[in-house]
Amino acid sequence: MSDPFSRIARRLIDESSYRQELAEVGAWLVTERYRPFVVEQHLRRMDYILGRLPPGEPAGVYSATELDAVFSLECSPVSRRCRFAATHRVYQRFLAARARLRMERSGDRFADLRQRYDQFLVDIRGLSLSSRQHHAQTVADFLKRALRPRQPLKTLTRADVERGQQRFNIYCSPCHSRIGDGNGMVVRRGYRQAASYHTEKLMKAPVGHFFDVITNGFGAMPSYASRVEPDDRWRIAAYIRVLQFSEAAPLDVVPAEMRGELDKTPETPKPTLAQGAAQ
């Protein structure tokens, strides 16, 4: 009988201290028709995670809370968090399929909504149990993020504006550019022209306009609500105001000792040896 695993997946299983568990997870992934490369990546991450999980009671039985506590440690950088979040969902579905996921009573006020949504997936879309479990986990992840308690943002500090600059550079500058003139890199490469924040219309727009556009999208711009949290949307809006002021501010508001810097062309930093190696 041929080996269902790729050469790399087989080596990961054979060299692991958790060979039996990895083999079972791998076999389940294969039956779920995951591609060989994806199976290898999940097995690699599971081999790392299994060493951190507490012994299941009974053996191999875990609660969703226990899984959350272990997988949530892999939160930085963002790319690592996303990859481990995918493996988290896969392993939770695997445990549920094997009746090894301990259910907890949490007084879920959305239990009826979840049940009706699951019935919709059966009646309207005809999805299998495995696919419905994947949907259910995605919904649970969303509700946990959306409903978690947080401190409301009441005032803005310098740190908030700097955070807004960081988020702006990540999500907004590819289209709007780092100075907000609408000529970002993707626009220069042929994408639709983005709005300039320095037009009279947007200079007079209330700050809530930018929050609304980030949340709901506008024209060709999609919504960023799933990627930018509400407080960060306000921080980005505040930073846009800073950009607008910097482009329209009169010279006399610039401290005399700093005016000589205005005409200088910023130097492009030379890549370090470590950066070159990373590329």
Task: Give, in order, the Cα–Cα distances in Å from 134 to each of 29, 79, 256.
Answer: 13, 21, 60
Could you give the dihedral angle defined by the CA atoms of residues 17, 23, 26 and 27, in that order, rounded to the nearest 10 degrees?
A: -170
Q: How confident is the model at residue 65 (pLDDT cuts 50, 70, 90)?
A: confident
Q: Tell me the pairing of strands 62-63 and 101-102.
A: parallel
Q: Does residue 275 have a pLDDT over 50? A: no
Query: Hunting for tokens 């022209």 — which residue is that?
Result: 193
Return the CATH fold of 158-248.
Cytochrome Bc1 Complex; Chain D, domain 2 (1.10.760)
Are the C-beta atoms of 195 and 202 separated by less than 8 Å? Answer: yes
Averaged over 201-230, what is the pLDDT?
A: 88
Selection from 65, 71, 77, 6 nearest residue 39 by Cα: 6
Could you give the dihedral angle defined by the CA atoms of residues 41, 46, 52 and 58, in that order, rounded to the nearest 10 degrees?
A: 170
Instruction: Output the pLDDT for position 108.
Output: 65
Least confident window among 50-54, 189-193, 265-269:
265-269
Task: Give the pLDDT confidence of 115-150 residue by residue, as tens digits.
Answer: 777 777 777 777 766 777 777 777 777 776 666 655
Q: How confident is the model at residue 218 (pLDDT cuts 50, 70, 90)?
A: confident
- List the helix and strand counts (H, then E) for the chain: 14, 2
Amino acid at 73: L
E strand segments, 8-137: 62-63, 101-102
- Prediction pTM value: 0.45
